[in-house]
């Protein structure tokens, strides 16, 4: 299953409209509350002829946005205390709307009435790539081309034994549902680079962490991107949460290393403490630390490893 809407925007958008309406109702009604006859006469037209229809339209607009999850050939549409399962075969047309200064959204028009009417809107964020990606996922589902990334959840006992040469990521702080969504979003974004056989194996690890491995491997560049994305996934509020992800592997020539002597050495990939860039990774190899910026994809040796408190980088 993959959730198509933005959890953060879907939750926040209606509240923004409610706050906006409450504010303007207060601005208009306060003149009556304070008994100012002159101002009361001026705002009467707004109170009786403008605010009611604007409020109705605003509430109607907010109500059209739903939580939408694609489960193979079925859309799971959720609203306030309601949920409907609608076959993708019932989709008549998909419209993309770029929001300009506001968020982008996708409108799904159904062939017949559903529990949520003929149309449902999906809030997908402000990035055009996300808008196009959601529309493509829906279009592929309509055509029967559902190619969801495989996430194999296995028990610790049945997982493949640790191999120092294999790539792995150890994650703390995400629930299983959140992690599945994050991994799916990542695979959707980098699918062309990852290949058709790409999949994950996910299993419990020490101290409540989760271990992610790659049965069909993952390109070196995307491995770095994934460690970063697990720390900073799109559409998640990180305030008050303790999230960390570290990658462990044995370096190969595919990593475009600054020094060939690093080939064959164990390395730990992590986000440095007090990170303000959000688009880089630190790599610890033995007693040396390198900064890898995603802008230049060039490794630069640094003196301060900036190891986050409580993080173990002893594998390097």
Maximal CA-CA distance, the chain: 84
| Amino acid 127: pLDDT | 47
Give the pLDDT score at 38: 60
Residue 60's pLDDT is 82
Domains in the chain, please, with CATH? 1-146 (2.30.29.30), 150-302 (no CATH)
Q: CB burial class (10 A; 0-12, 13-18, 19+) of residue 213? A: buried
Nearest to 172 by CA among 283, 312, 316, 274: 312
| pTM for the model | 0.64
pLDDT score recorded for residue 7: 76
The pLDDT value given to residue 147: 60
Nearest to 313 by CA among 266, 268, 251: 268
Residues 6 or more apart in contact with residue 276 via CB below 8 angstroms: none
Q: What is the pLDDT of residue 128?
A: 46
Q: Where are the beta strands (DSSP E) in 55-208?
A: 67-71, 74-79, 82-87, 91-97, 104-114, 117-125, 150-153, 168-172, 199-204
Per-residue pLDDT of the chain (316 residues; tens, 9 = 90+): 677 887 778 877 778 888 888 888 887 777 666 666 665 667 777 777 788 888 888 888 788 889 898 877 899 999 878 899 999 999 999 999 887 666 789 999 999 999 999 999 998 865 445 788 788 888 888 887 766 678 888 887 767 666 666 899 999 999 998 999 899 888 887 877 888 788 999 999 988 899 999 999 999 999 999 999 999 998 788 888 999 999 999 999 988 899 999 999 999 999 999 999 999 999 999 999 999 999 888 899 999 999 998 787 766 5
pLDDT number for residue 271:
96
How distant is the alpha carbon of residue 115 from its chain centre? 27
What is the spatial distance between Cα 108 and Cα 241, in angstroms, rounded to a whole number? 34
């Amino acid at each position: 299953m993959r959730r198509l809407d933005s959890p953060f925007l879907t939750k926040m958008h209606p509240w923004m409209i409610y706050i906006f309406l409450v504010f303007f109702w207060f601005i208009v009604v306060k003149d009556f509350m304070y008994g100012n006859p002159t101002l009361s006469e001026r705002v009467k037209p707004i109170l009786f002829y403008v605010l009611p229809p604007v409020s109705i339209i605003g509430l109607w607009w907010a109500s059209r946005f739903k939580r939408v999850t694609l489960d193979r050939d079925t859309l799971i549409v959720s609203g306030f205390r309601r949920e409907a399962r609608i076959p993708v075969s019932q989709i008549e047309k998909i419209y993309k709307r770029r929001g300009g200064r506001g968020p982008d959204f996708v409108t799904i028009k159904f062939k017949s009435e559903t529990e949520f009417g003929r149309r449902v809107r999906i809030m997908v964020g402000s990035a055009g790539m996300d808008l196009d990606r959601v529309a493509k996922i829906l279009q592929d589902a309509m055509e029967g081309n559902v190619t969801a990334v495989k996430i194999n959840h296995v028990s610790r006992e049945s997982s493949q034994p640790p191999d120092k040469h294999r790539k792995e990521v150890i994650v703390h702080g995400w629930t299983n549902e959140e992690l599945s969504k994050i991994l799916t979003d990542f695979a959707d974004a980098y699918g062309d680079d990852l290949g058709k056989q790409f999949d994950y194996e996910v299993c419990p690890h020490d101290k409540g962490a989760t271990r992610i491995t790659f049965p069909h491997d993952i390109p070196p560049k995307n491995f770095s991107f994934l460690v970063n994305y697990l720390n900073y996934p799109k559409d998640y509020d990180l305030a008050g949460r303790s999230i960390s992800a570290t990658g462990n592997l044995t370096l190969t020539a595919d990593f475009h290393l600054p020094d060939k002597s690093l080939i064959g050495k164990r390395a730990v990939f992590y986000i440095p403490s007090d990170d303000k860039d959000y688009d880089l990774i630190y790599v610890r190899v033995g007693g040396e630390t390198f900064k890898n910026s995603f802008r230049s994809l060039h490794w630069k040796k640094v003196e301060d490893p900036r190891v986050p408190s409580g993080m173990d980088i002893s594998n390097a």
